[in-house]
Amino acid sequence: MAEGMEKLAELKNAPTSKKEEKATNEVETVVAEPKIDELGRSYGTGRRKESIARVWVKRGNGKITVNGKEFREYFARPTFQMIINQTFSIANREGEFDVIATVTGGGLSGQAGAVRHGLSRALVAFEPGLRSPLKAAGFLTRDSRTVERKKPGLRKARRSRQWKKR
């Protein structure tokens, strides 16, 4: 009789659906593992406007190369240099990584944004713990703004012809 009462108590406490069953199980924490190739590099693709950047990151002394040139030579304006260095300053990793980037398409502004996006993705692939500060800064989100298309009957996307009343 006692055995039957125990089974009845177990059935009462048993989860009635799969959701309840999942809720009663312990929460599993998934720790992302670094994605590093045999040469010790991590890869990230960045995009901005019409530009696409392929970025490789490896441990080093802070040398940044863009399309075979030193990045201060390729991005001569300090604004573009600051955009690229923002990733390292947010992650507190200045001078710890060598970066090799290949950028195609668009202008210098879009290319600088693409390199920053790809660099952020590559750093997260190298050190998954950097995801939260880079995500909070907005560097992992692709900036989807592009040039608005020209409309028929207008001079540009929104600029119409001058109208003369008299």
CA dihedral for 71, 86, 78, 147, sign (positive or negative) = positive
- pLDDT at residue 32, rounded to an integer: 81
Domain-located, residue 126: yes
* CATH number of the domain residue 82 falls in: 3.30.230.10
Going by C-beta distance under 8 Å and a sequence separation of 6 or more, which residues neighbour residue 114?
Answer: 46, 47, 48, 49, 51, 52, 53, 103, 106
With 70 as the cut, is the pLDDT of residue 144 above it?
yes
- pLDDT at residue 10, rounded to an integer: 64
**Chain center to CA of 130:** 11
- Mean pLDDT over each residue of the chain, to the nearest integer: 88
The model carries a pTM of 0.78
Q: pLDDT digit string (tens) for 29-38? A: 667 888 998 9
Domain-located, residue 70: yes
- Domain hosting residue 131, numbered range: 41-137
Domain-located, residue 119: yes
Domain-located, residue 162: no
Going by C-beta distance under 8 Å and a sequence separation of 6 or more, which residues neighbour residue 113?
Answer: 46, 48, 49, 51, 83, 143
Looking at the 3D structure of the chain, how many domains does it have?
1
Domain-located, residue 102: yes
